[in-house]
Amino acid sequence: MTAQHVSATPSTRPTKIAIVGAGSVGASVAYAAMLRGSAQTIALYDLAAEKAEAEALDIAHGSQFGSGATVIGGGDITCVAGADVVVITAGARQKPGQSRLDLAGINVKILRSLMPQLLEQAPEAMFMLVTNPCDVLTVAAQQITGLDSSRVFSSGTVLDSSRLKFLISKKIGVNPRSVHARIIGEHGDSEFAVWSNANIGGIPLREWRGADGTLAFTEADLDAVRDEVANSAYAIIQGKGATNLAIGVSAARICEAIINDEKAVLTVSTVLDDYRGVSGVAMSVPSVVGRGGVERVLNIPLDERETLLFRASAGQLSAIQEELGLELE
C-alpha cells in the first residue's frame, strides 16, 4: 500500500530511508523521519504485511502536517529497493529484566536470513542496526554481508548520550544542547560516561558550580547519573513495555547525517580495529558520520579509569560473541 504526498524535487537526488520491522520501534523511526523530513521517501517493511501497511498509512495520513514525505509500507521486501539507509529494528523484543545480551542468539539467526535479502534490494545502502543487542548484531551483520565497517553500524550510544545530556541539564538548569558529554562503550550495562572531557560552555563538568558557588557534581553524583542513564531503558520497559519514541528520533537523526553528508560527530557503534588495543567488537565511540556512513572513528582522550572501563566493556562483548561464534578472523 502506498500513500503519496509530495514528489521529489526534480533538481535534487531522491532520498529514501527503509525501516525493517513495523513494531513500536520501527513505526517510531518512520514517524520521526516523516516529521523531521529525514528523507523524501520512507518505507516500512515487515513480514506482517497488514501491520506494516497500517502503520505506514497511519503515518501518511498526518504527513501533510509534517514534512510531506512519501510513506509506503507492506510485506513485499522490494519496498526497500534503492534505499540510502536501511534501519533494522526487526527482532525479538526485550522483556522486563532481560539483558540486551540475552537477546543475541535469536536475533543473530534472524539477521542470517534477513541481511542477504536487504543487500540485494539496496546494494549501495548504509545499514544501521537498532535491534538489540545492537553491538553484537553489528558484528554479525558485517560478517554476513562482508561489507566494510563504515557501511554496517548501529545506533550505539547516540540515545544514551542524549539521556546523559538531559540528566545533566536538568541538574544544573542549562539547555541540553549546551552540554558536551557522551556515553561510550557497549550500548548496555557496561557503558560509561567520559567525564574527563565533559564540559558546559567550555567549563569542565567537574568544575561547574551553581549560583551559590558550590560544585554541582561530586564523584558520587556523577556515578549516580551514569547509573540512571544505563538503567533508563529498563525503567521505561517496566513502565510501558518498550522504549520506542526517543530511539525513533535518534535513528532518524543518524539517517539525516548520512543522507545530508553532514560529517556529524555521533556515538554510533562500529566494528573496531585496534582502537586503544580493541579489535573485532563493535562499540560506540565518537565518529564522523556522512554520506559514506561511518567515515572516521575519532580517538578521543580517556583517563586511566576510562581506559580500563573501555577495555572491560570490550571484554564483555567479546565473551558473548565467542559464545555465538562471531569471532572475527
CA 263 to chain centre: 16
Judging by DSSP bridges, how do beta strands 152-154 and 126-129 pair with one another?
A: parallel
Q: Which of 151, 187, 226, 253 is catalytic?
A: 187
25 assigned binding-site residue: yes
Does 174 appear as a known binding residue?
no
160 is in an annotated binding site: yes
Polymer length of the chain: 329
Instruction: Report how far apart, in Å, the C-alpha atoms of 49 and of each of 22, 83, 324 are.
Output: 9, 19, 31
Classify 202 in phi/psi space as left (phi over 0), alpha (psi -120 to 50) or beta. left
CA neighbours closer than 13 Å in the CB half-sphere of residue 139: 28
Q: Is 243 annotated as a binding residue?
A: yes
Whether 135 has a binding-site annotation, put simply, is yes
Judge whether 132 is annotated as a binding position: yes
- Does the annotation flag 108 for ligand binding? no
Residue 321 counted as an annotated binding residue: no
Record the cell numbers describing residue 28, joined without a space: 517510531
> How many angstroms separate the CA atoms of 274 and 272, rounded?
6
**CA 325/CA 245 separation, integer angstroms:** 33
DSSP 143-177: HHH---TTTEEE-TTHHHHHHHHHHHHHHHTS-GG
Query: According to the annotation, is 133 in a ligand binding site?
Result: yes
Is 107 within any annotated ligand binding site?
yes
Is 51 annotated in a binding site? The answer is yes
Distances in Å between the Cα of 280 and the Cα atoms of 140, 310, 322 are 11, 14, 11
Is 48 annotated to bind ligand?
A: no
Name the residue among 106, 282, 275 with its Cα closest to residue 188: 282
C-alpha cell at 104: 543475541
- Is 180 within any annotated ligand binding site? yes
131 a known binding residue?
Answer: yes
State phi, psi for 268 to the nearest 5 degrees.
Answer: -80, 165
24 in a known ligand binding site: yes
Give catalytic status of residue 61 as yes or no. no
Check the annotation: does 60 bind a ligand: no
CB atoms within 10 A of CB 293: 24
Query: Does residue 99 have a known ligand-binding role?
Result: no
Which residues make up each annotated binding site?
21-26, 46, 51, 91-92, 94, 100, 107, 113, 130-135, 155, 160-163, 165, 180, 243
Which residues have a catalytic role annotated?
A: 187
Q: Residue ranges for the binding site for beta-D-fructose 1,6-bisphosphate?
A: 165, 180
Task: Tell me the binding residues for substrate.
Answer: 94, 100, 132-135, 160-163, 243
Q: Which residues belong to the annotated binding site for NAD(+)?
A: 21-26, 46, 51, 91-92, 107, 113, 130-132, 155
